[in-house]
Amino acid sequence: MKMCLYCAEVSVGDREILYGSSHLGVRCRTRQNGRSRLRFQRVLDDSGQPMLRWELKFMLDQVYLASEDGPSSQPFGARIAKWCTYLLVAFPIVDYTLRLSFIHPIGSIWDKVVLLLLAVVAFNRVLRGHRPPAFGWSKYAGWYILYLVALFFAGLGSPGVAFDGFRADIYYMLFGLLMPFVIEPRDAKKYLYAAATVAILIGVHGVVQYLLAPPIPPGWVDVGEHVRTRVFSVLKSPNELGAYMEMMTPIVFGLCLGERNRARRIVYALGGICCLLTLLLTYTRGAWMGLGIALVLVAIAYERRLLIVIVVLGVIGFFLPPIHHRIMDLFSPVYYIKSSQGGRLIRWQTAFDQMAGNPLFGVGLGRYGGAVASDHGFSIYSDNYYAKILGESGLVGLVLFLAMHVRIVVEIINQTVRKATARDRYLALGGLIGVTALLVHDVVENVFEYAPNFLNYFLMLSLLLLWGRTLERQEEKHE
């Protein structure tokens, strides 16, 4: 018996079996006189009875697992894919470093090079027969991308604006779509560990930055508000850092609660505390709101003990004057007056007005609510990513965009949270909280306009879903 390195293929004698290529059975390639002939047939067990699909998959999984440690078990481009993924996991630090003045040209292209390398690896593996199941949300992403392609051609009167808007909407999504083809499910948890390590480093840096109290622009503080400083670390903005921390903090604590090694558990616990402190010290109300709502939703649905965490964080916020002031300011009449004159409320109203001229298709890619529209003088930021989608791509675009993200959340619940047991459940719930928090935060800010957060969102959910596939394998082994 021999194992194919790229497509979970088993060969017995002159017969090669590829599981899952047909609902009628399996795809078999038989060599005759030096030639390969491809056909579909059912597989029989030792007693001559047709083998069930799950039995066949279990058999192939055993062979696959048995070959994992062998020197020849690495698929094409494994090292390239591994280091490219580590670079993406460390995106905030890598991008900040490469965008320093003396190496800025590299900083502007490095992620494009990484995407190209991953695409080459994925394409080569597909040609060699490696066709793992794509994510369920990829179909919804495909419809959304197809719609944006149509809007791009409709906006060719201003091709530069249309292309920039198209790229901003789908570029980082491509990394997530490639992940099943370049990462083995068994490696997904290693990248989650690496992502937690990066988040801890940034969290520690945020706490140190608060102690050093660097000067910040006056626009980062409301009129009449007094804060020592707002931390921003390597993400250049407290709002960006807050969004990053609201997603990564639950994952770090999930790894802490799921860790059996005492030393590592202590490291994750201290790191999680630093991440939480950094999140608070950004003074980003949208991030606080996103994490709070996500905690409440997940606690009610899956883990009531999380409500204790919410109460503790609420008490902390009530007794710390800067945080208390930032929250209570939302309920003051002055805030609503300012917001209605030049803040979020008027920007959301503008999004509706923009869409009203063409309700189905909006004003066109790159023409409202985001960085591209701001750079070309069409509009300021909408401070609501969903309003931005509505304004530039209309009701059709918003429905397709929401359908994709609803599918993402449902898939994480079905493929990871519901399969995770014992200590694994903490990491699964932490990932679900992080994904939900970022989607909630998008209601009051253009979180997905920030490259580190848009990429990190698709990267983390992809790793969670791939890790969920290993949980499925463990279930089948147990059965």
| Whole-number average pLDDT of the chain | 83
CA 382/CA 343 separation, integer angstroms:
9
> Max Cα separation, the chain?
85
Token couple for 208 = 């140190």
pLDDT exceeds cutoff 50 at 65:
no
The model's pTM is 0.82
Residue with tokens 């006056």: 218
Nearest to 4 by CA among 52, 98, 70: 70
pLDDT exceeds cutoff 60 at 255:
yes
How would you class 296 by CB atoms within 10 Å of its CB: exposed for 0-12, middle for 13-18, buried for 19 or more? middle
pLDDT exceeds cutoff 70 at 469:
yes
In eight-state DSSP terms, residue 90 is T
User: Of all helices (H) and strands (E), which one includes residue 197?
Assistant: helix 188-212
pLDDT value for 224:
63
The 2-3 sheet, strands edge to edge: 2-3, 9-12, 15-22, 25-32, 35-41
Nearest to 57 by CA among 83, 80, 12, 25: 25
The confidence band for 118, taking pLDDT boundaries of 50, 70 and 90, is very high
Exposure pattern of 240-274 as b/e (b: 16+ CB <10 Å)?
Answer: bbbbbbbbbbbbbbbbbbbbeeeeeeebbbebbbb
pLDDT exceeds cutoff 70 at 475:
no
* Three-class secondary structure of residue 253 per DSSP: helix
pLDDT exceeds cutoff 50 at 468:
yes
CA 448/CA 379 separation, integer angstroms:
17
pLDDT tens digits, one per residue of 211-230? 998 888 887 877 666 778 89
Could you please report the per-residue DSSP string of 139-188? HHHHHHHHHHHHHHHHTTTSHHHHHHHHHHHHHHHHHHHHHHHHS-GGGH
For residue 310, give Cα distances in angstroms to 280, 425, 433, 453. Answer: 14, 19, 13, 24
Per-residue pLDDT, averaged over 34-38, amounts to 41
Percent of the chain scoring above 90 in pLDDT:
56
* Three-class secondary structure of residue 377 per DSSP: coil
Nearest to 87 by CA among 55, 117, 65: 117
447 neighbors 385 (Cβ within 8 angstroms): yes
Lowest mean pLDDT among 155-164, 187-196, 339-348: 339-348
User: Which tops the pLDDT comparison, 3 or 300?
Assistant: 300
pLDDT exceeds cutoff 90 at 376:
no
The confidence band for 25, taking pLDDT boundaries of 50, 70 and 90, is very low
- Angle CA(408)–CA(297)–CA(308) in degrees, nearest 5? 135
